[in-house]
Chain A
Amino acid sequence: MDRREFIMVGGKMLFMTAATAAALEHVMAGTPEKVDTYKAAEHWWALLIDVEKCIGCGSCVRACKTENDVINEPFYFRTWVERYHIEATDAEHPIVDSPNGAYDGFPEAYEEGKGKTFFVPKMCNHCADSPCTQVCPVGATFITPDGVVLIDKDYCVGCRYCVQACPYGCRYIDPRTHTADKCTLCYHRITKGLVPACVEVCPTGSRQLADLKNPSDPIHEFLRTHAIQVLKPQMATGSKIYYNGLDGAVR
């Protein structure tokens, strides 16, 4: 290689490095909103699920899959609905089913008057002290300043630690990208002043978005006057999905 050749090749390589760096920076920056009035520090998001109002229609499951482009196959859900059936005297052994996550609702299965039957919607609990964010080795999952647990798909290496760590089974590996995926509380909607898709379509108001930092949010009154429960309180995850009328048999 003579000097002329060396300089040509060297110059090309330098140019390519610079171009790649610029392109990378562009990708990293994303496309932020043009006018952004949303201030994360002023919110602390939670969700209220009123089990007594759920009719098991599955509207939330379908809307969630559409809104968030969740792969339309069984076993991949950001939210799903479980049906519990408990024989009168056997509260410790509930029969639980969730055919295709209740995507098509539920087929009739139990006789009226024998034991009790009810529906329990489930989704990511957006824990304040989340086990899933603690185990992530690369900082790909995290809690935002407004209390939503998110996944950075570009950073996720697909190691599945978080899927194992979540006590609520809310995470899965997206077979298309081989990265972790789960409910974002429709972060792209709530930061625009909309409610999550599942809340929007719920016909009975069984799901309600709540902002705990907003003093005029009706959630405060509701939490004060109802018997509220979170799932697996013994895990001390700081879950922010508040259930009203949750049966003790639900896990």
Chain B
Amino acid sequence: MRFRDVEHLFRLAAIFLAGTLVFVVAKAEMRPKDFGKDGHYRPAAVDEIRARAISYAGQTACADCHSDVVDLRAQARHKAVACESCHGPLATHATAMSDGTEAAKPVRPDGRTLCVRCHAAKTGKPKRYPIVDIKEHAGDENCLSCHKPHDPRIS
């Protein structure tokens, strides 16, 4: 009876030891070698996040080819509004044009919906920011029939 009790304990110890061994080996095998180099994390993850492709090229990227628009905007009231704020993400367009590859021509923004997004009168907008009551100001007319998008001031 006693002999079997001890055997029972040994078995338990063996399982425990084997478990520890599996854990240690698995950890050594599966954990990347450089884990913890810069902190408690996997350094390669940073490179993976950095490798993501961009969608917005940034305003400076447009200047090489669209200098006419850039010049027009330089003194205009929209100078602080980035191209892609109205035109949407155009990184694929910019790279395609400089690489000479085929790409869809960017669609022109619709003057009926674009301007309203930023200029519709609404409580909470800063006091100095120019807003208009759309119905009163334009009715159903397209904003672009009076305003030029890159230099919106009329007078």
Residues of A whose CB lies within 8 Å of any CB of B are 28-33, 52-59, 63, 66-68, 83, 85, 105-106, 108-112, 117-119, 139-145, 150, 152-155, 184, 187-189, 191-192, 194-195, 197, 200-205
Contacts and interface: CB of A to CB of B under 8 A. Distances in A.
8 contacts: A30-B45, A33-B50, A57-B118, A68-B52, A108-B122, A118-B124, A153-B45, A188-B52
B51 A31 contact: yes
Contact of B58 (A29, A85, A143, A194): A194
Which residue, B41, B47, B88, has most C-beta atoms of chain A within 10 A? B41
Which residue, B45, B53, B84, B88, has most C-beta atoms of chain A within 10 A? B45
A55 B59 contact: no
B19 interface: no
Nearest to B57: A194
B49 A187 contact: yes
Top 8 closest pairs, chain A to chain B, by CB:
A117-B124, A152-B45, A142-B41, A188-B52, A30-B48, A201-B85, A139-B40, A203-B81
A58 B120 CA distance: 13
Given A57-B117, A194-B54, A194-B58, A28 B44 contact: yes
B16 interface: no
A5 B55 CA distance: 55
B73 interface: no
A53 B126 contact: yes
Interface in B118-154: 118, 122-126, 129
A112 B123 contact: yes
Interface residues of B, number: 38
A108 B121 CA distance: 9
Contact of B47 (A30, A83, A119): A30
A201 B123 contact: no
A154 B49 CA distance: 11
Nearest to B117: A57
B54 A67 contact: yes
Interface in B75-91: 80-82, 84-85, 88-89
Contacts, number: 132
A200 B84 contact: yes
Interface in B30-51: 32, 35-36, 38-42, 44-51
A77 to B, nearest CB: 17
Given A139-B40, A152-B42, A56 B122 contact: yes
Interface in B83-131: 84-85, 88-89, 117-118, 122-126, 129
A68 B46 CA distance: 15
Nearest to A83: B124
Nearest to B124: A117
Contacts of A155: 41-42, 45
Given A28-B44, A112-B123, A204-B129, 13 more contacts: A30-B48, A32-B47, A53-B126, A54-B126, A59-B117, A68-B52, A105-B117, A109-B123, A110-B123, A142-B40, A187-B50, A195-B58, A202-B85
Contacts of A83: 124
Contacts of A187: 46, 49-50
B92 to A, nearest CB: 12
B41 A204 contact: no
B58 to A, nearest CB: 5
A54 B126 CA distance: 7
Contacts of B122: 56, 106, 108
Given A143-B39, A152-B41, A117 B47 contact: no
Contacts of B117: 57-59, 105
